[in-house]
Amino acid sequence: MSGIEAMKTIKLGMCGLGTVGSGTVNLFAQSGGAVNRRAGATLEIAHIGARRDNPLCDTSNIRVSRDIFAVVDDPEIDIVMELVGGTTVAKEIVERAIRAGKHVVTANKALIAEFGTELFELASEHGVALRYEAAVAGGIPIIKALREGLAGNEINWLAGIINGTTNFILTEMGSAKRAFADVLAEAQALGYAEADPTFDVEGIDAAHKLVILAAIAFGIPLNKNAVYTEGVTRITPADLAFAEELGYRIKHLGIAKLTESGVNLRVHPTLVPQSQLLSRVDGVENAVLIDGSAVGPTLYCGAGAGAAPTASAVVADVVDIARELVADQLPQVPALGVDPESIRPLELVSMDEVVTPWYLRLNVYDKAGVMSRLSSILSDHGISIEALIQKPPVRGEATVAVVILTNPAQQANLMSAVAQMEALESTTADIMCIRVENFKA
């Protein structure tokens, strides 16, 4: 018998046959031999639960059930891949599989962010593994890097482009000077954005991912309500152009920082210096920058979504579990990288206390004394101006655009100053406020 033929067979069940499911079937079909050699076992997709077939993959040699729970209840299945999404049916699939003594791999960031704590506890009680590499940043192995590769570091902060849809939108708006609604429609046509894009463009998807990354980085509980979240719907091509003129690019970031006062978790548009690599990650790519006490800043970049990249992460988790099954040693790595008993309380830093430089864009009447009044209000709040752009008036228009880049200012003070500036008769619209970050990496 050859080495492959003598290997233990591990049977896989798949719940869901959408983009990621079809990508996973195709990956096994194309690279199964290499995957088996790495796993030290023969991995076989034996049962798929899906409401309908997917023409993007060949399942003719695989048992397919329309009842998705038939996979979970199949006694031959060793590992269940939950690829249906959402937090209702998916949660039931995962719980039922764990209680049946099956190991689980999921690509579901919302499920982990919202119910991860109880699911990890349940998996521990039943002595099975629950893995979730594909839940964050698609094909980038960021969970493994943070949980295992950087285990010798205290993590100081992390910042990431962790939603490909918003990165594509901002990239296209900036390079082609196109309006948000126009680029969003293109993103939907290309399959980058859902018909209802709220989770992406309002930052909810990124917030779920940030919760997971922060829990691993800082050893804190998963808490989906701990993240300040701001979307990209108010960003205009003018903002992107002004940022470029000032030497920055606007990226939609998830940021987690550990301070003496606690942890600050936030998702929002951010001006990043053009000199930094993070500012040059474009299109649907993802990137996560992590600052460790020993290693310093490290950047992880690549495909953040899509069938093949996400399937790559799913299969990597399957291989990890298979290796442990072959060695009869499960599980080897805690779900969040630390012993559950050592997870420390989550102490949040209020957004009012966060200090950053700020980008402010105003529309004001072109009258004498306006800039003096704006500068005075900022000064009264202890805020100094780093740079200023004032465009000449367009013929026939009474207002001009003014852009102010401040030095670092506490958010509470900045917002108080902005309220006063918006109340001026010379200010004609709400002021656009965007935080600025310099990660020195």
* Catalytic residue list: 209
| Close Cβ partners of 326 (under 8 Å, ≥ 6 residues apart) | 8, 39, 40, 41
Question: What's the CA gap between 216 and 415, in Å, rounded?
Answer: 32
| Tokens 């629950």, residue located | 130
Question: What's the CA gap between 440 and 62, in Å, rounded?
Answer: 51
Question: What's the CA gap between 230 and 162, in Å, rounded?
Answer: 14
Facing residues of 20 across strands?
none
Facing residues of 258 across strands?
263
Sequence-ordered alpha helix ranges (H) in 246-369: 307-327
Are 427 and 421 within 8 A, CB to CB? yes
3-state SS, residue 396: coil
| 345, burial (CB in 10 Å: exposed 0-12, middle 13-18, buried 19+) | exposed
Are 356 and 375 within 8 A, CB to CB? no
Question: What's the CA gap between 131 and 122, in Å, rounded?
Answer: 13
